[in-house]
Structure 1
Amino acid sequence: MRRPIIVLFLSLLMLALPPAWGAERGALFKVSGSGHTMYLFGTMHVGLPEFYPLEPRIATAIQNASTLALEVDLMQDPARLGAAMQAHAMLAPGKPGFRERSPAFRQRVEQALKKAKIDPAAVARFKPWLVATTLTLAEYAAEGYQAELAVDIKLAQMARASKVPVIELESIATQFAMFDRLGVEEQWAFLEESVDMMESGKQRAELRQIVDAWGSADKAALDAVAAKVEGDTSVSGKFMQQVLLDERNGPLAEKLAALLAKQDKSVAAIGVLHLVGKNSVPALLGAKGLTVERVY
């Protein structure tokens, strides 16, 4: 359960479900404190046309919101993505890329790239974690997923149409820097695990599991996904749980509690896996004495 979840996170930077109008998707919480309320919505960072329109409660909450808080807002200054890539995702001069690894490893990576219709030379200077991400995003695109239909982007568009301010809880540079903390050999293991998942077909199967859980707002299924992440001992699995979830959930909860104290009727939208599991953002908000109600 490691690769699809990690790439859903990263696709901020860059199978059909047939829900009817009004269908519940993801996870929605109502948080109360200091006389104010906030809706907290769990998103997918990739999308299909069939995800929309969103159900009326979240759509109305956005329309009437004082503020929409996102992990990052890719509609603001897209040049930041290029700067973050240069700082954290490109190999330094003289550092070996996948073409300098063993012949067997190089062949597997190049075969995966060619299958995804990616020129190996175009990604030769990418750090291993970005090669892995590029491969997986290409596979998702082949399944019909579109970055421009990510739920976070749609919410930002809805907010701006209603003249609702949009703020960021994190930054692209900070998110990229998390991956840059992986050691060199960990990054190579990360890439190898990704290729293994694609070759075995497990990646597509796990993606279907996540999408189905999100698309039907299935609490038990989302909890099952969270449990798989918590029990995953692979390099990418431990990185997902320890860094991308546990390490970020505390600061996210702090920022959301501060926003709630200052503003009424705000809406926060973050990746759905931040909202489930043992150390979820809703659990941390509840531990602060706030009232947290799961709507669905």
Structure 2
Amino acid sequence: MRHPFLAFLCSLFWLAVPAASTAFATERGALFKVSLDGHEMHLFGTLHVGLPEFYPLEPRLAEALGQASTLALEIDPLQPQRELQRAVREHGMLEPGSAGYEGMAAQQRSLLDSLIAQGGIDAGRALRFKPVLLATLLTMAEYTRQGFKSELSSEAWLARQARAQGARVLELESLDRQLSLLDRLAEPDRWRFLDEMMGTIASGAQRREARAMVQAWGSADREALDAIAARCELDASVSGSFVTRVLLKERNADLAGSLLDLLRREPRTFAAVGVLHLLGSGSVPALLQEKGVQVERIY
């Protein structure tokens, strides 16, 4: 069974600002505490979509964030939309004059057109995107169809709380960096990536596994989250292996390095990255532990 879009969802973040909620706070995602030389960081595994009932996040998170001088995120969700638009123009658009999607087999092109329409995406704009970026948009559109909203991401909730408390919000990556990674596949594999993603949506696998992922994250089900991470690592498809190798493990090394620098500089910090960055082999906590950092998994 393939799970590339699960890792996709937890490895890239681009948007949004959540609304307030009065839901009962409970454990979500995964939470680690890391320490070095008397300095302490709480490391939270996020989901890049959400539901209103996810908020507020549980009291230990709020308390840790309240004591932190800095909140470190993959990307600042409050940055202007023009930054996203610029990065997409730079890294996500087909070259002028390229054959683009005209070269697809008739059956696959028909499926693509139906998924674009189903996702409520403007076809004229979508067909100007490179195939891996378009696969990302189709995946996120399917999550939206299922009721999960990017504007209710935990990163955005945390960013709002941090700013209200006067903490600094630090970006660990950039939109340029994230989008440039999507351009790393060889030309034939880019189209295979799109084919595989379309297949998971059309077959209903995306819908079933998205619900399982959100349920596991929403209840901090450690066993279920670890099992999802293990399945992702075993995925030998073009899309699955690319997500695991490049979008997760390669980025994990950079994220761990930046977080270690922050941990050494500041006594109390808080960091939040996609939950699959914190699980499995080559995870951020594992890489930090290799550097002599004390790591405790709280849940």
* TM-score (ref. length: structure 2): 0.93
Aligned match for 1:60, one of 54, 60, 63:
63
Aligned match for 2:142, one of 107, 122, 139:
139
Please name the residue that 1:237 is paired with: 240
Please name the residue that 1:36 is paired with: 39
TM-superposed deviation, 1:7:
3.4
Alpha carbons of structure 1 residues 245 and 261: separation in structure 2 relative to 1, 3 Å: same
TM-superposed deviation, 1:265:
1.1
Cα offsets for 1:44-93 (capped at 9, x unmatched): 11111011110000011112211000011021233211111001100010
Aligned match for 2:9, one of 3, 7, 10:
7
Contact residue 101 and residue 127 of structure 2 kept, 8 A: yes
Please name the residue that 1:107 is paired with: 110
Distance 1:24 1:7 in 2: 20
- Is 1:185 the counterpart of 2:176? The answer is no
Contact residue 36 and residue 264 of structure 2 kept, 8 A: yes
Gaps of 5+ in 1: none
Please name the residue that 1:91 is paired with: 94
Distance 1:240 1:3 in 2: 8
Distance 1:20 1:122 in 2: 37
Contact residue 197 and residue 203 of structure 1 kept, 8 A: yes
1:59 corresponds to which letter in structure 2?
A: A
Please name the residue that 1:49 is paired with: 52
Please name the residue that 2:293 is paired with: 290
Cα offsets for 1:92-139 (capped at 9, x unmatched): 101122233222221111122222233422312111112212212111
Matches within 5 A, 1:189-228: 189-228=192-231
Say which is worse superposed, 176-185 or 73-82, in terms of deviation.
73-82
- Is 1:270 the counterpart of 2:273? The answer is yes
Cα offsets for 1:193-249 (capped at 9, x unmatched): 111111110001111121111111111111101111110000110011100111111
Aligned residue pair count: 292
Contact residue 34 and residue 260 of structure 1 kept, 8 A: no
**RMSD, matched Cα:** 1.6
- Is 1:171 the counterpart of 2:182? The answer is no
2:43 corresponds to which letter in structure 1?
A: L
Gaps of 5+ in 2: 17-21
TM-superposed deviation, 1:5:
2.6
